[in-house]
A = this chain, B = another copy of it.
Amino acid sequence: MIIKMKRGATDAQVEEVERRIIAEGYTPNTIRGVEMAVIAVIGKRPEWMIDTVESMAGVEQAIPIEKPYKLAARDFQAATTEIRLGAATLGSNDVVIMAGPCTVETRDQLLATARGVKEHGGHVLRGGAYKPRSSPYSFQGLGEDGLKLLQEARELSGLPIITEVMEPGTLDTVVRYADVLQIGARNCQNYPLLREVGRTRTPVMLKRGPSVTVEEWIMAAEYILHGGNMQVMMCERGIKTFENYTRNTLDISAIPVIKRLTHLPVIVDPSHGTGKWHLVKSMCLASVAAGADGVLIEVHPTPDTALCDGAQSLTIENFADAARAIAQVAAAVGRSVPGFEPDGSRTGAAVTRVAVA
Protein backbone atom coordinates (compact mmCIF):
# COMPACT_ATOMS: atom_id res chain seq x y z
CA MET A 1 0.00 0.00 0.00
CA ILE A 2 1.27 3.45 -0.92
CA ILE A 3 -0.18 6.28 1.16
CA LYS A 4 -0.02 9.62 -0.56
CA MET A 5 -0.31 12.51 1.88
CA LYS A 6 -1.89 15.79 0.84
CA ARG A 7 0.26 18.75 -0.06
CA GLY A 8 0.52 20.61 3.17
CA ALA A 9 -0.12 17.60 5.40
CA THR A 10 1.54 18.28 8.75
CA ASP A 11 4.29 16.26 10.34
CA ALA A 12 1.84 15.33 13.07
CA GLN A 13 -0.52 13.87 10.48
CA VAL A 14 2.26 11.84 8.90
CA GLU A 15 3.25 10.55 12.30
CA GLU A 16 -0.31 9.63 13.16
CA VAL A 17 -0.51 7.51 10.02
CA GLU A 18 2.83 5.90 10.84
CA ARG A 19 1.59 5.09 14.34
CA ARG A 20 -1.52 3.46 12.97
CA ILE A 21 0.49 1.33 10.55
CA ILE A 22 2.82 0.21 13.32
CA ALA A 23 -0.15 -0.57 15.55
CA GLU A 24 -1.44 -2.93 12.86
CA GLY A 25 1.87 -4.75 12.74
CA TYR A 26 3.32 -3.25 9.56
CA THR A 27 6.41 -1.12 8.92
CA PRO A 28 5.91 2.33 7.42
CA ASN A 29 8.54 3.66 5.00
CA THR A 30 8.13 7.40 4.72
CA ILE A 31 9.58 9.37 1.84
CA ARG A 32 9.40 13.14 2.03
CA GLY A 33 9.49 15.07 -1.24
CA VAL A 34 9.57 18.82 -1.57
CA GLU A 35 5.83 19.04 -2.03
CA MET A 36 4.45 15.96 -0.36
CA ALA A 37 5.16 12.88 1.65
CA VAL A 38 4.50 9.28 0.65
CA ILE A 39 4.36 6.35 3.04
CA ALA A 40 4.99 2.89 1.62
CA VAL A 41 3.82 -0.21 3.45
CA ILE A 42 5.12 -3.40 1.89
CA GLY A 43 3.64 -6.74 2.90
CA LYS A 44 0.45 -8.64 2.52
CA ARG A 45 -2.38 -6.42 1.38
CA PRO A 46 -4.18 -5.05 4.40
CA GLU A 47 -7.61 -4.75 2.76
CA TRP A 48 -9.47 -2.82 5.35
CA MET A 49 -6.60 -0.42 5.98
CA ILE A 50 -6.91 0.98 2.49
CA ASP A 51 -10.51 1.84 3.21
CA THR A 52 -9.82 3.51 6.51
CA VAL A 53 -6.42 5.10 6.00
CA GLU A 54 -8.04 7.25 3.32
CA SER A 55 -10.26 8.82 5.93
CA MET A 56 -7.37 9.84 8.20
CA ALA A 57 -6.48 13.52 8.38
CA GLY A 58 -3.88 14.62 5.84
CA VAL A 59 -4.19 11.53 3.64
CA GLU A 60 -5.03 12.12 0.00
CA GLN A 61 -5.09 8.57 -1.31
CA ALA A 62 -4.13 5.01 -0.39
CA ILE A 63 -3.07 2.95 -3.38
CA PRO A 64 -2.98 -0.83 -3.08
CA ILE A 65 0.05 -2.38 -4.74
CA GLU A 66 -0.19 -5.96 -3.53
CA LYS A 67 -2.45 -8.43 -5.25
CA PRO A 68 -5.52 -9.09 -3.09
CA TYR A 69 -5.65 -12.79 -3.99
CA LYS A 70 -3.36 -15.61 -2.95
CA LEU A 71 -4.57 -19.11 -3.79
CA ALA A 72 -5.53 -18.17 -7.35
CA ALA A 73 -2.19 -16.54 -8.18
CA ARG A 74 0.44 -17.95 -10.52
CA ASP A 75 2.85 -17.08 -7.72
CA PHE A 76 1.07 -19.61 -5.53
CA GLN A 77 1.03 -22.40 -8.11
CA ALA A 78 3.14 -22.19 -11.24
CA ALA A 79 1.45 -24.99 -13.22
CA THR A 80 -1.97 -24.46 -14.74
CA THR A 81 -4.67 -26.35 -12.87
CA GLU A 82 -5.80 -29.38 -14.86
CA ILE A 83 -9.37 -30.62 -14.70
CA ARG A 84 -10.31 -33.94 -16.26
CA LEU A 85 -13.52 -33.73 -18.31
CA GLY A 86 -14.26 -37.02 -20.05
CA ALA A 87 -11.96 -37.44 -23.02
CA ALA A 88 -10.31 -34.07 -22.54
CA THR A 89 -8.27 -32.38 -19.84
CA LEU A 90 -8.93 -28.72 -19.34
CA GLY A 91 -5.77 -26.77 -18.55
CA SER A 92 -3.55 -29.20 -20.46
CA ASN A 93 -2.58 -28.81 -24.10
CA ASP A 94 -6.15 -29.82 -24.99
CA VAL A 95 -8.71 -27.31 -26.22
CA VAL A 96 -12.05 -28.43 -24.79
CA ILE A 97 -15.39 -27.94 -26.52
CA MET A 98 -18.49 -27.68 -24.34
CA ALA A 99 -21.79 -27.37 -26.16
CA GLY A 100 -25.49 -27.78 -25.73
CA PRO A 101 -28.72 -25.87 -25.38
CA CYS A 102 -29.14 -22.77 -23.24
CA THR A 103 -32.06 -24.51 -21.53
CA VAL A 104 -33.24 -28.08 -21.28
CA GLU A 105 -36.70 -27.88 -22.83
CA THR A 106 -37.77 -31.42 -23.71
CA ARG A 107 -36.29 -34.91 -23.78
CA ASP A 108 -36.25 -34.91 -27.59
CA GLN A 109 -34.57 -31.52 -27.81
CA LEU A 110 -31.88 -32.46 -25.33
CA LEU A 111 -31.11 -35.90 -26.70
CA ALA A 112 -31.00 -34.63 -30.28
CA THR A 113 -28.55 -31.97 -29.18
CA ALA A 114 -26.45 -34.42 -27.18
CA ARG A 115 -26.19 -36.74 -30.15
CA GLY A 116 -25.17 -33.85 -32.40
CA VAL A 117 -22.60 -32.53 -29.95
CA LYS A 118 -21.11 -35.97 -29.43
CA GLU A 119 -21.10 -36.86 -33.10
CA HIS A 120 -19.35 -33.65 -34.13
CA GLY A 121 -16.67 -33.72 -31.50
CA GLY A 122 -17.89 -31.88 -28.40
CA HIS A 123 -16.42 -33.07 -25.09
CA VAL A 124 -18.91 -31.77 -22.53
CA LEU A 125 -22.68 -31.29 -22.73
CA ARG A 126 -24.10 -28.05 -21.36
CA GLY A 127 -27.75 -27.44 -20.53
CA GLY A 128 -29.63 -25.29 -18.03
CA ALA A 129 -32.20 -26.77 -15.67
CA TYR A 130 -32.38 -23.76 -13.34
CA LYS A 131 -32.38 -20.56 -15.38
CA PRO A 132 -31.85 -16.97 -14.24
CA ARG A 133 -34.26 -15.01 -16.41
CA SER A 134 -34.53 -11.25 -16.36
CA SER A 135 -38.34 -11.50 -16.47
CA PRO A 136 -40.48 -13.37 -13.93
CA TYR A 137 -42.83 -14.10 -16.84
CA SER A 138 -40.21 -16.02 -18.85
CA PHE A 139 -39.68 -19.77 -18.75
CA GLN A 140 -37.60 -20.49 -15.63
CA GLY A 141 -36.30 -23.95 -16.48
CA LEU A 142 -37.42 -27.50 -15.69
CA GLY A 143 -35.58 -27.74 -12.36
CA GLU A 144 -34.77 -31.25 -11.17
CA ASP A 145 -36.69 -32.77 -14.08
CA GLY A 146 -34.20 -31.03 -16.34
CA LEU A 147 -31.33 -32.49 -14.33
CA LYS A 148 -32.76 -35.96 -14.81
CA LEU A 149 -32.89 -35.43 -18.55
CA LEU A 150 -29.28 -34.27 -18.47
CA GLN A 151 -28.37 -37.45 -16.61
CA GLU A 152 -30.06 -39.51 -19.29
CA ALA A 153 -28.24 -37.56 -22.00
CA ARG A 154 -24.95 -38.24 -20.25
CA GLU A 155 -25.64 -41.93 -20.08
CA LEU A 156 -26.54 -42.09 -23.74
CA SER A 157 -23.74 -39.86 -25.05
CA GLY A 158 -20.97 -40.51 -22.59
CA LEU A 159 -20.45 -36.73 -22.31
CA PRO A 160 -19.94 -35.15 -18.88
CA ILE A 161 -22.56 -32.58 -17.95
CA ILE A 162 -22.19 -28.92 -17.01
CA THR A 163 -25.24 -27.18 -15.57
CA GLU A 164 -25.95 -24.06 -13.57
CA VAL A 165 -26.53 -23.80 -9.86
CA MET A 166 -28.31 -20.59 -8.82
CA GLU A 167 -28.61 -20.75 -5.05
CA PRO A 168 -27.28 -22.61 -2.03
CA GLY A 169 -30.69 -24.17 -1.48
CA THR A 170 -30.56 -26.32 -4.61
CA LEU A 171 -26.82 -27.00 -4.55
CA ASP A 172 -27.15 -30.49 -3.05
CA THR A 173 -29.60 -31.45 -5.79
CA VAL A 174 -27.45 -30.07 -8.61
CA VAL A 175 -24.30 -31.69 -7.25
CA ARG A 176 -25.94 -35.12 -7.51
CA TYR A 177 -26.26 -34.72 -11.27
CA ALA A 178 -23.55 -32.34 -12.47
CA ASP A 179 -20.00 -33.09 -13.52
CA VAL A 180 -19.29 -29.35 -13.56
CA LEU A 181 -21.19 -26.70 -11.63
CA GLN A 182 -21.75 -23.48 -13.55
CA ILE A 183 -21.93 -20.18 -11.65
CA GLY A 184 -23.75 -17.73 -13.89
CA ALA A 185 -22.53 -14.24 -14.69
CA ARG A 186 -25.08 -12.54 -12.45
CA ASN A 187 -23.96 -14.76 -9.55
CA CYS A 188 -20.26 -14.07 -10.05
CA GLN A 189 -20.21 -12.08 -6.81
CA ASN A 190 -22.88 -14.05 -4.96
CA TYR A 191 -20.59 -14.80 -2.04
CA PRO A 192 -22.86 -17.17 -0.10
CA LEU A 193 -23.17 -19.30 -3.24
CA LEU A 194 -19.42 -19.15 -3.92
CA ARG A 195 -18.73 -20.25 -0.36
CA GLU A 196 -21.06 -23.22 -0.69
CA VAL A 197 -19.66 -24.47 -4.00
CA GLY A 198 -16.24 -24.06 -2.41
CA ARG A 199 -17.24 -26.76 0.07
CA THR A 200 -18.06 -29.29 -2.68
CA ARG A 201 -15.44 -31.19 -4.61
CA THR A 202 -17.20 -30.83 -7.98
CA PRO A 203 -15.39 -28.73 -10.59
CA VAL A 204 -16.81 -25.21 -10.90
CA MET A 205 -17.01 -22.95 -13.93
CA LEU A 206 -17.16 -19.34 -12.76
CA LYS A 207 -18.58 -16.94 -15.33
CA ARG A 208 -17.36 -13.38 -15.25
CA GLY A 209 -19.98 -10.89 -14.15
CA PRO A 210 -20.95 -8.29 -16.75
CA SER A 211 -19.37 -5.45 -14.78
CA VAL A 212 -16.69 -7.35 -12.91
CA THR A 213 -13.06 -6.41 -13.43
CA VAL A 214 -10.46 -9.10 -13.92
CA GLU A 215 -9.25 -8.53 -10.37
CA GLU A 216 -12.75 -8.78 -8.89
CA TRP A 217 -13.36 -11.93 -10.92
CA ILE A 218 -10.20 -13.55 -9.55
CA MET A 219 -11.33 -12.55 -6.05
CA ALA A 220 -14.60 -14.37 -6.68
CA ALA A 221 -12.60 -17.47 -7.66
CA GLU A 222 -10.57 -16.99 -4.48
CA TYR A 223 -13.75 -17.52 -2.45
CA ILE A 224 -14.19 -20.96 -4.01
CA LEU A 225 -10.53 -21.90 -3.64
CA HIS A 226 -10.56 -20.65 -0.06
CA GLY A 227 -13.38 -23.11 0.62
CA GLY A 228 -11.09 -25.93 -0.45
CA ASN A 229 -12.37 -26.62 -3.96
CA MET A 230 -9.36 -26.18 -6.20
CA GLN A 231 -11.06 -27.24 -9.45
CA VAL A 232 -12.11 -23.84 -10.71
CA MET A 233 -12.28 -22.77 -14.35
CA MET A 234 -12.89 -19.17 -15.41
CA CYS A 235 -15.39 -18.36 -18.16
CA GLU A 236 -15.24 -15.05 -20.03
CA ARG A 237 -18.70 -14.21 -21.41
CA GLY A 238 -18.60 -10.56 -22.26
CA ILE A 239 -18.89 -7.33 -20.31
CA LYS A 240 -21.39 -4.51 -20.43
CA THR A 241 -20.24 -1.59 -22.52
CA PHE A 242 -21.85 1.20 -24.54
CA GLU A 243 -21.67 -0.91 -27.72
CA ASN A 244 -25.13 -2.22 -28.52
CA TYR A 245 -24.76 -4.16 -31.74
CA THR A 246 -23.59 -7.09 -29.65
CA ARG A 247 -25.34 -8.17 -26.46
CA ASN A 248 -22.08 -7.81 -24.53
CA THR A 249 -18.51 -7.01 -25.49
CA LEU A 250 -16.45 -10.18 -25.36
CA ASP A 251 -13.17 -9.32 -23.63
CA ILE A 252 -10.82 -11.63 -25.50
CA SER A 253 -7.81 -9.94 -23.89
CA ALA A 254 -8.98 -11.29 -20.54
CA ILE A 255 -7.86 -14.76 -21.66
CA PRO A 256 -4.10 -14.10 -21.62
CA VAL A 257 -4.52 -11.79 -18.62
CA ILE A 258 -6.16 -14.50 -16.49
CA LYS A 259 -3.60 -17.02 -17.63
CA ARG A 260 -0.79 -14.66 -16.65
CA LEU A 261 -2.16 -13.71 -13.25
CA THR A 262 -3.60 -17.06 -12.19
CA HIS A 263 -3.12 -20.79 -12.65
CA LEU A 264 -6.76 -21.36 -13.54
CA PRO A 265 -7.90 -22.57 -16.97
CA VAL A 266 -9.99 -20.19 -19.09
CA ILE A 267 -13.06 -20.91 -21.18
CA VAL A 268 -14.92 -18.49 -23.45
CA ASP A 269 -18.66 -18.33 -24.06
CA PRO A 270 -19.10 -16.48 -27.35
CA SER A 271 -22.84 -17.19 -27.47
CA HIS A 272 -23.66 -14.96 -24.52
CA GLY A 273 -20.64 -12.82 -25.28
CA THR A 274 -22.10 -11.64 -28.56
CA GLY A 275 -25.78 -12.65 -28.53
CA LYS A 276 -25.63 -13.40 -32.26
CA TRP A 277 -25.13 -16.86 -33.66
CA HIS A 278 -23.33 -15.54 -36.74
CA LEU A 279 -20.50 -14.21 -34.56
CA VAL A 280 -20.02 -17.40 -32.53
CA LYS A 281 -17.65 -19.26 -34.83
CA SER A 282 -15.26 -16.37 -35.36
CA MET A 283 -15.20 -15.61 -31.64
CA CYS A 284 -14.44 -19.27 -30.88
CA LEU A 285 -11.49 -19.09 -33.24
CA ALA A 286 -10.29 -15.81 -31.77
CA SER A 287 -10.52 -17.25 -28.26
CA VAL A 288 -8.51 -20.33 -29.10
CA ALA A 289 -5.91 -18.24 -30.94
CA ALA A 290 -5.65 -16.04 -27.84
CA GLY A 291 -4.95 -19.04 -25.64
CA ALA A 292 -8.33 -20.17 -24.31
CA ASP A 293 -8.40 -23.66 -22.86
CA GLY A 294 -11.94 -24.24 -24.01
CA VAL A 295 -15.12 -22.81 -25.45
CA LEU A 296 -18.75 -23.04 -24.37
CA ILE A 297 -21.18 -22.95 -27.27
CA GLU A 298 -24.96 -22.83 -27.35
CA VAL A 299 -26.33 -25.42 -29.76
CA HIS A 300 -29.96 -26.15 -30.48
CA PRO A 301 -31.44 -28.53 -33.04
CA THR A 302 -33.97 -25.88 -34.10
CA PRO A 303 -32.93 -22.46 -32.80
CA ASP A 304 -36.04 -20.81 -34.22
CA THR A 305 -38.25 -22.69 -31.76
CA ALA A 306 -35.97 -22.35 -28.70
CA LEU A 307 -37.58 -21.10 -25.50
CA CYS A 308 -34.44 -19.11 -24.70
CA ASP A 309 -31.57 -17.52 -26.58
CA GLY A 310 -32.46 -18.85 -29.99
CA ALA A 311 -30.76 -15.90 -31.64
CA GLN A 312 -27.39 -16.90 -30.28
CA SER A 313 -27.61 -20.68 -30.76
CA LEU A 314 -25.87 -22.64 -33.51
CA THR A 315 -27.61 -25.39 -35.40
CA ILE A 316 -25.91 -28.78 -35.17
CA GLU A 317 -24.59 -28.31 -38.67
CA ASN A 318 -23.04 -24.95 -37.81
CA PHE A 319 -21.62 -26.45 -34.63
CA ALA A 320 -19.88 -29.16 -36.65
CA ASP A 321 -18.38 -26.51 -38.88
CA ALA A 322 -17.16 -24.48 -35.91
CA ALA A 323 -15.62 -27.53 -34.22
CA ARG A 324 -13.60 -28.38 -37.29
CA ALA A 325 -12.31 -24.81 -37.55
CA ILE A 326 -11.45 -24.75 -33.85
CA ALA A 327 -9.29 -27.83 -34.32
CA GLN A 328 -7.41 -26.13 -37.15
CA VAL A 329 -6.73 -22.93 -35.21
CA ALA A 330 -5.78 -24.94 -32.12
CA ALA A 331 -3.17 -26.73 -34.19
CA ALA A 332 -1.83 -23.42 -35.49
CA VAL A 333 -1.09 -22.32 -31.93
CA GLY A 334 0.36 -25.66 -30.88
CA ARG A 335 -2.70 -27.06 -29.12
CA SER A 336 -4.96 -29.93 -30.00
CA VAL A 337 -8.64 -30.76 -29.75
CA PRO A 338 -9.11 -34.34 -28.57
CA GLY A 339 -10.79 -36.32 -31.32
CA PHE A 340 -9.59 -34.06 -34.12
CA GLU A 341 -6.57 -34.06 -36.39
CA PRO A 342 -4.72 -30.76 -36.97
CA ASP A 343 -6.48 -30.38 -40.32
CA GLY A 344 -9.91 -30.51 -38.69
CA SER A 345 -10.75 -34.08 -39.64
CA ARG A 346 -11.82 -36.54 -36.93
CA THR A 347 -9.38 -39.04 -35.50
CA GLY A 348 -10.22 -42.70 -35.90
CA ALA A 349 -10.42 -43.17 -32.15
CA ALA A 350 -12.77 -40.27 -31.62
CA VAL A 351 -15.93 -42.30 -31.20
CA THR A 352 -14.64 -44.74 -28.62
CA ARG A 353 -12.38 -42.50 -26.51
CA VAL A 354 -15.13 -40.51 -24.84
CA ALA A 355 -16.00 -41.56 -21.30
CA VAL A 356 -17.36 -39.81 -18.26
CA ALA A 357 -14.75 -38.40 -15.89
Q: Is A352 an interface residue (CB 8 A)?
A: no
Binary B-proximity of A54-78 (CB < 8 A = 1, otherwise 0): 1111000101010011000001000
A214 x B252 contact (CB < 8 A): no
Closest to A210 in B: B211
Say which residue of B134, B216, B286 sits within 8 Å of A134 (CB atoms).
B216
> Interface stretch among A118-126, A144-152, A326-334?
A326-334
B249 x A253 contact (CB < 8 A): yes
A257-B246, A289-B289, A306-B52 given as contacts; is B29 within 8 A of A31 (CB)?
yes
Within 8 A of B (CB), among A258-293: 260, 273-274, 277-279, 282-283, 285-291
B245 x A242 contact (CB < 8 A): no
Closest to A49 in B: B310
Q: Is A231 an interface residue (CB 8 A)?
A: no
Within 8 A of B (CB), among A1-54: 2, 4, 7, 20, 29, 31-36, 38, 40, 42-43, 47-48, 51-54
Q: Is A166 an interface residue (CB 8 A)?
A: yes
- Sample (9) of A-B pairs whose CB atoms are under 8 Å apart: A2-B38, A2-B65, A32-B42, A52-B303, A55-B311, A134-B189, A213-B244, A252-B252, A260-B278
Q: Could you list 5 further interchain pairs (A-B, Cβ under 8 angstroms) beyond the known A52-B305, A249-B249?
A: A29-B31, A34-B42, A240-B242, A253-B279, A329-B329
